[in-house]
Amino acid sequence: MENIVASASSQIADAGHENAPRRSPPGTFVIFGGGGDLTRRLLVPAIYNLACAGLVDDHFSIVAVDWTDMSTGQLQQNFHDALKNFVNSRGTEAVALREDVWAWMSTRIRYVRGSFEDEATYTQLAAEVGDENCIFYLAVAARFFGAIVDRLGHSGLAHETDGMFRRVIIEKPFGSDLASAVALNARLLRSLRERQIYRIDHYLGKETVQNILALRFSNGFFEPLWNRDNIDHIQITAAETVGVEQRAKFYEGTGAVRDMVPNHVMQLLAMTAMEAPTSFDADAVRDEKTKVLKAIHAVGREDVVRGQYGAGTIKGEPVAGYREEPGINPQSRTETYVAMKLRIDNWRWAGVPFYVRTGKRLAARKTEIAIHFKSAPYALFRDTPVEKLTPNIMMLHIQPTEGVTMQFSAKIPGPTVHLGGVRMKFDYSEWFREGPSTGYETLIYDCMIGDATLFQRADNIEAGWQVVQPVLEWERDPGFLHFYPAGSEGPKAADDLLARDHRHWLKIGS
């Protein structure tokens, strides 16, 4: 796992630091779905950033595969327009597009038109890539995953020889439940070896997610506190203000549980709760993450709240309820919110609940992990004006701001003992100069150099689905859905989930 903040990489390289990231090996980056939105908005800008940082080999090319009728020249123009939008997206902090880098990239872009299920497409693709190293990125709907990998295997495109690698990056969703995830993994492994499969979760490309491990295991004063003796509970929040937007068909058949919990939320939980790996070798890290997920106690129905947003207001503007959204069934029982109380059955975390929640149309866009430490004994302050102690909370901010906040008590200046809650905050943007990024730079670069640390292994995927499988089996129950107004903190039942334990959620909209 190597840090790919482009500006920092450039500074390190300029300084001649011995630990500067190395250039990727030569090869071809094949994108199935190369004419789509994901490619334009995220993948091409990420490759551009890597090229700006000097991390892409000169013998590198991009082959976009799609069914759309267009020429290589039209594709190049689409990518150029997308890059200009990308670099201008930071408003007053916008930077100019480096035309020298684009000129270098544009000569290395080729287009293959064809169906993902047509053998002729793979014959043409094989002629394009020859005997080069290849990464095949599946930026396509999940229904094509198995079909594409089958044909990569049948055509010989997945075959590796000494000194030549073939790797496949697969976007989520990895199945729609435990059985389909197991079946998909089995199908992929008929054509590929596990080490060739890179199951991507873009949350793991965020600097603050990667920083969880650095924070825990490189600072001597955190790890001794990171256990049941000192931590009361942990809250994980992944909140959005947006609704389903243009994803109505997908979301109606998916819901918040499938869309977020087995992947994004479970990865945040695993990074927070895992034991120290023996090294930062990919399998050592993934072994520990899988152990944590397998140690999660079977969830009970009383510990799960499903919700769906109704009409409300977001930033002062009225918004429709989920059932009124275009393309949504007016009687839909699809959840747009879920909260769960999870327990991890191991020595470190026994008795420490993990409360997780995720949802759409909530009070603010926020992803964070809040570590609530146990309170200090109050006896010392019994004969003082102090009425209560400020909770000690460490907040790991994932998005939209990235950083760490510590909340603790301090004496208010004056002749008597009065305590006030104070906060110390570390903000990534203030300490590290960083250009615009997509969050995919690190993930793509790691795949290029063969580092799978930030990618999910088959057992990791299946362990995540195992946690939520009971919830999927209860979802048809008409009583298992609560409603909340758009722009709120979520359903009242989610507050009650914590209130039973004499705890409360941190405010999303604060």
Q: What is the reported pLDDT for 429? A: 78
Instruction: With H, G, I as helix, E, B as strand and everything else as coil, classify residue 432.
Output: coil
Nearest C-alpha neighbor of 137 from the set 124, 126, 152, 115: 152
- Phi and psi at 342, nearest 5°, equal -115, 150
Q: What is the reported pLDDT for 419? A: 74
173 and 229 share a domain?
Answer: no
Nearest C-alpha neighbor of 372 from the set 494, 235, 508: 235
Least confident of 14-18, 334-338, 485-489: 14-18
Structure tokens of 34? 């190369």
Q: What is the reported pLDDT for 375? A: 81
For residue 320, the domain's CATH number is 3.30.360.10
What single letter denotes the amino acid at residue 60?
Answer: F
Q: What percent of the chain has pLDDT over 90?
A: 73
Instruction: With H, G, I as helix, E, B as strand and everything else as coil, classify residue 94.
Output: coil
Q: How confident is the model at residue 211 (pLDDT cuts 50, 70, 90)?
A: confident
Q: How confident is the model at residue 209 (pLDDT cuts 50, 70, 90)?
A: confident
186 and 293 share a domain?
Answer: no
176 and 275 share a domain?
Answer: no
Q: Is 59 a catalytic residue?
A: no
Q: At residue 380, does pLDDT exceed 80?
A: no
97 and 164 share a domain?
Answer: yes
Q: Where are the beta strands (DSSP E) in 374-418?
A: 393-399, 403-411
User: The domain containing residue 482 runs over which residues?
Assistant: 205-434+455-498
pLDDT single digits (tens) 253-312: 999 999 999 999 999 999 999 999 999 899 999 999 999 999 999 999 999 999 999 999
Mean pLDDT of 97-125: 95
pLDDT single digits (tens) 456-491: 999 999 999 999 999 999 988 878 999 999 999 999
Q: At residue 13, does pLDDT exceed 50?
A: no
Q: What is the reported pLDDT for 401? A: 86
Strands 337-343 and 304-310: antiparallel
Mean pLDDT of 92-105: 81
450: in domain:
no
Mean pLDDT of 333-358: 97
Q: How confident is the model at residue 407 (pLDDT cuts 50, 70, 90)?
A: confident
Q: At residue 378, does pLDDT exceed 70?
A: no
pLDDT single digits (tens) 413-471: 877 776 777 789 988 878 876 666 788 999 999 999 999 999 999 999 999 999 999 99
123: in domain:
yes
Q: Where are the beta strands (DSSP E) in 89-187?
A: 109-113, 134-138, 166-170
58: in domain:
yes
Q: At residue 10, does pLDDT exceed 50?
A: no
pLDDT single digits (tens) 78-89: 999 999 988 887
For residue 49, the domain's CATH number is 3.40.50.720
**How many C-beta atoms surround the C-beta of residue 95 within 10 A?**
11
Single out the residue in 172, 198, 224 at which a domain terminates.
198
Single out the residue in 198, 222, 243 at which a domain terminates.
198
Q: How confident is the model at residue 17 (pLDDT cuts 50, 70, 90)?
A: very low
Q: How confident is the model at residue 342 (pLDDT cuts 50, 70, 90)?
A: very high
Nearest C-alpha neighbor of 339 from the set 479, 240, 258, 236: 236
Residues belonging to the binding site for substrate are 202, 206, 240, 259, 360
244 and 156 share a domain?
Answer: no
Question: Could you give the CA distance from residue 396 to residue 398 in angstroms, rounded to a whole number?
Answer: 6
392 and 492 share a domain?
Answer: yes
The catalytically annotated residue of 233, 264, 372, 482 is 264
Q: At residue 31, does pLDDT exceed 70?
A: yes
Q: At residue 106, does pLDDT exceed 50?
A: yes
Q: At residue 331, does pLDDT exceed 50?
A: yes
What single letter denotes the amino acid at residue 292?
Answer: V
Residues belonging to the binding site are 172, 202, 206, 240, 259, 360
222 CB-side CA count, 13 A: 16
232 and 176 share a domain?
Answer: no
Mean pLDDT of 381-407: 79
239: in domain:
yes
Mean pLDDT of 220-243: 95
Q: Is 471 exposed, middle or buried (0-12, 13-18, 19+ CB in 10 A)?
A: buried
Q: Is 148 exposed, middle or buried (0-12, 13-18, 19+ CB in 10 A)?
A: buried
Question: Could you give the CA distance from residue 63 to residue 112 in angstroms, rounded to a whole number?
Answer: 7
Q: Where are the beta strands (DSSP E) in 91-165?
A: 109-113, 134-138
193 and 220 share a domain?
Answer: no
424 and 475 share a domain?
Answer: yes
506: in domain:
no
pLDDT single digits (tens) 142-173: 999 999 999 999 999 999 998 899 999 999 88
Task: Decide if 405 contacts 394 (C-beta within 8 A).
Answer: yes
Q: What is the reported pLDDT for 382? A: 61
Single out the residue in 161, 180, 198 at which a domain terminates.
198
Q: What is the reported pLDDT for 476? A: 80
178: in domain:
yes
Structure tokens of 303? 């510990």
Task: Decide if 226 contacts 347 (C-beta within 8 A).
Answer: no
321: in domain:
yes
Question: Could you give the CA distance from residue 340 to residue 356 in angstroms, rounded to a whole number?
Answer: 5
How many domains in the chain?
A: 2
Question: Could you give the CA distance from residue 288 to residue 149 in angstroms, rounded to a whole number?
Answer: 28
397 and 269 share a domain?
Answer: yes
Q: What is the reported pLDDT for 478? A: 77
214 and 187 share a domain?
Answer: no
189 and 293 share a domain?
Answer: no
Which element (helix H / strand E) includes 122?
helix 119-129
Residues belonging to the binding site for NADP(+) are 172
> How far, in whole angstroms, is CA 505 from its chain's centroid?
22
**How many C-beta atoms surround the C-beta of residue 461 within 10 A?**
25
Q: What is the reported pLDDT for 195? A: 96
266: in domain:
yes
